[in-house]
Amino acid sequence: MKRPVRSLSGMVGIAILAALVLVAVFAPLISPGDPLAITARPLLPPLADWAHPLGTDRLGRDLVAGLVHGARTSLAVGLAAAVASLMIGSIIGTLAGFLGGWTDEALMRVTDAFQTVPGFLLALAFVSVAGPSLPVIVLAIALSAWTGPARVARAEVLSLRERDFVASARVIGMHPLEIAFREILPNALPPVLALSSVIVAAAILTEAALSFLGLGDPNRVTWGGMIAEGRAVLRSAPYLSIIPGIALVLAVLGVYLAGEATVERAARRVGHA
């Protein structure tokens, strides 16, 4: 009885994620021009002017433009941070699991040290020191998210390094690092990649929280910045915070549900095999 419900939730997640991707890709066509430009009178309520169906903010900037260009920022940060954290975690986990000994011990103690600090606080401190910009935000999120992939990769490598194909690679004289990254890592990647949806969703939330606190890229429209902008007029114009807040919730929900559906489908295929 649970399988149809899970399939439905997966389809909903994939639909939301597909819509988010389309909006991000076609943002310049949906809302051409600068999304930070003043286009109408300030605090225009939703549906009051069809040229600005969702209204305008305190400065007269169009909310539709902010939403579609904010989707591009959120998706770019989420994907880039996930790729960076998976790469860092996979490399460290592979080295720790394959080399073992003091290398494993040292790398796992570094991993423990990063895990003792809450991810958002680490990202907050890093951006505060390095300055708010999109590359810095991506790097800050990646530094706070690589520990999970590292531990999963290490566990997989520990189970793979004694297999026959690894022994064969040693016999033919392959370099240890070549064995680790050419023979073992590709086989250890599937469980690591299963974490990508969680990392993307967390990265979108972290970027929004940083922007809400004024640490987002000032040259980019972000949903967190839009929510913070509406905070000052929350009683008189609550839509300024509610609309980007709904978009943020839908994006995170879509990424998470789509990732769960993908993992479930992959596990089902492995079970049938």
DSSP per residue, 142-177: HHHHSHHHHHHHHHHHHHHTTSHHHHHHHHTT--HH
Q: Give the rounded distance of the alpha carbon of 128 from its chain centre.
A: 20
pLDDT tens profile 132-169: 899 999 999 999 899 999 999 999 999 898 888 888 88
Q: Report helix, strand or coil for 135.
A: helix
Residue 267 has pLDDT above 80, yes or no: no
pLDDT tens sequence across 103-130: 999 999 999 999 998 989 999 999 999 9
- Whether the per-residue pLDDT at 6 is higher than 60: the answer is no
| CA 140-13-135 angle, 5° bins | 20
Q: pTM of the prediction? A: 0.88
* Among candidate residues 228, 203, 225, the one with its CA nearest the CA of residue 139: 203
- 40-99 confidence digits (pLDDT tens): 888 888 888 888 899 899 888 999 999 999 999 999 999 999 999 999 999 999 999 999
Tokens 């566990």, located at residue: 155
Query: How would CATH label the architecture of 26-272?
Result: Orthogonal Bundle (1.10)
Rounded distance between C-alpha atoms, residue 38 and residue 189, angstroms? 47
Cα–Cα distance, 61 to 70 (Å, whole number): 13
CB 208 within 8 A of CB 222: yes
What is the C-alpha to C-alpha distance for residues 215 and 128, in angstroms, rounded to an integer?
Answer: 7
Q: Where are the domains of the chain?
A: 26-272
> Can you tell me the distance from the alpha carbon of 220 to that of 211, in angstroms, rounded to the nearest whole number?
10
